[in-house]
Amino acid sequence: MSERELYQVYKLFYTSQHSQLVNLDLELELGSVDPEYLKLAQSYQIRSLLALGKYKEAATKAASLKNDTLTTFIKFLESGSKQTEAFDAAFGASNEDTDAGASLYKALYFTITQQYDLALAQLNPTVVDNISLGVYISLKLGKLKDASKWLKQFPSGLKDSFIYNLTSSWFELFQFGDTLNSSFYHYDEISSNDSTTTLKSLVCLLVANLKNLHFPEAKDVLNKIESLAEEKGGEFDQLKAWKADLLIDEISYAIISGDAEYDSKKLLKELETLDPSNEYIIDLKEKNELFDGIVAKYAA
């Protein structure tokens, strides 16, 4: 598979253009390629189907790959992503899957069920998707040094690749100053191109603007998201996780900027309806309960 073809598949998947990737005729698009490369591209199509919640279609496509770990992962998602002892055992056990994605699906299971230490233990530091997930988990846990170590695991030959630039931009988004600006420029560039502009890239650009306290620019991004949502329609509705992230950022924008057009309480109710188990809601509830407890203690 040529670098151009790899870039196209990576670009569509990692910018969350899942519908486009799912509809891509890989054999026509890639031509005559090594079966292993075609298998890799097919795995990205399956993961896009999973992102869109199309589990039955994903299971049908996955059957040809004969990957037991992937099959079990699809069953887990079909079950409503509920952690069970059976799934814990299945994903924690050693198996004979030789597909490089096996370690990724195991780690994804433990990430979704918030067993982060187990997720990290499953990752293969020689596989780029695994490295990228290692960076993500470390950032999610607020462990920036660990995220930096994972980022350094990328092979030197891939330091100019789309997946590396995107993963490093996540890390940069957690910084300030020039490092944060590097992330801003990355998302500003891909959000200025119709072929790469997605909800995902715009949400990250919004975060960069909010961290830099660039409120007019943040408002422009929110307007662009609204326009893109009208254009894309159902595809946005299917990307639940990014809709939740967008609502959280809108809440932050409303509170920090004081823009009367955005009602933080109304947005919070929307988030609770969309994703009642969202970590932001749980954390906010815990903080409110702690505050109420302190008030009650000193008011007594």
Residue 2: per-residue pLDDT: 46
Residues 208 and 179: beta-carbon distance below 8 Å: no
Q: How far apart are CA 182 and CA 168, in angstroms?
A: 10
User: What is the tens place of the pLDDT at every residue in 113-153?
Assistant: 999 999 999 999 999 999 999 999 999 999 999 999 999 99
User: What is the tens place of the pLDDT at every residue in 2-45?
Assistant: 455 667 888 889 888 888 899 988 877 777 667 777 888 899 99
Cα angle 280-283-286, degrees, rounded to a multiple of 5:
150
Structure tokens given for 139: 């950032």
Domain ranges within the chain, ordered by starting residue: 175-300
CATH of 175-300, one of 1.10.240.10, 1.25.40.10, 3.75.10.20, 1.10.8.60: 1.25.40.10
Residues 41 and 9: beta-carbon distance below 8 Å: yes
Question: Half-sphere exposure of 100 toward its Cβ, with a 13 Å CA cutoff?
Answer: 15
Residue 132: per-residue pLDDT: 96
User: What is the tens place of the pLDDT at every residue in 143-187?
Assistant: 999 999 999 999 988 888 888 999 999 999 999 999 999 999 999
Which of 25, 26, 8 is CA-nearest to residue 17? 8
